Structure 1
């Protein structure tokens, strides 16, 4: 992510309550604690996310409680800077069998799969095309100050989409990529959860790729 200047929340991986408390001083407070484990894909569904922890002691105690509740399923945790309040979006990518890399933007957070409000493109794209993707979404009004809320930094979201497109286009071994959620605030857009699945690529013949673009 950092190699492509994709803005992500500062995070530290930890494996115990004492290290979690120390990490809180590194990333800054308030902090977020997220459980890590091979089977913990939807962490919030099982109580694997704690928000708004305001002291290192609270972070350490949250780790202990989370580890007790989740048991062996929790192999560690991530301590992360708490993002500001904003609109939760998702930016993703997939290596499609026919089209090659595809990028996606849509409504993020826990409603992603339920509402399936998404737009797709074949990269590379520019910011104008990213803006058109966002305009296709039913949730787009949320980004522009819906019902008196402050308008989000849509330009920052567009830039994130463009950069994810470049990443997917450059790295064919990425089979799937999810940034969910990307919190879009009046001051920027930051990904607070990132998942990547790698697989050996079978690149399309270059003439076919050129036709798609």
Structure 2
């Protein structure tokens, strides 16, 4: 099922640079650039709240209507964040055709519970929260569902086990780990193992120290004989 491409408006930026970018952000707009397809890049600004809403919903492709110009179909290519990594500072848009193939990162949506997670001390870890895939622009999924219950009694789920939408293929190795389960030992078991290693709490003998003491005694005897 094809979805209608969301549309947003943009304004050309006549001036670029840090100072002007800061002014835009204070006014609730984000600086952005549109490039690709052997056309000149265009510096624009977009409404911050509008673009963040689209990004939050997993939107990858947009139709941007540039004020005083035409409309362009673009792919969200890169987001630049502030030094704390918690706010978007700049957006890169790449011109695309809906039928061309692109490589994109798509968020993973986890559901279900693996049986092994019910065992004592089990910890479920997601090694991936997004997956790099290759597909046509008009087939980019908003998210990729991952049913953890297919893990069964096992402790690992790999890329090969994820059911991808039609026309979408993974851009990473099929044996790459998506999620895994590890187990922590009970406190009493850990204490028992420590007791086996050092039951009396003594430290291992350091041979080099013993030799050093012996050498010191020999040196003392030599000094005494000379005196």
Return the structure number with greater relative CO, CA threshold 8 A, min gap 6: 1
TM-score, L = length of structure 1 = 0.29
TM-score, L = length of structure 2 = 0.28
Structure whose CA Rg is larger: 2
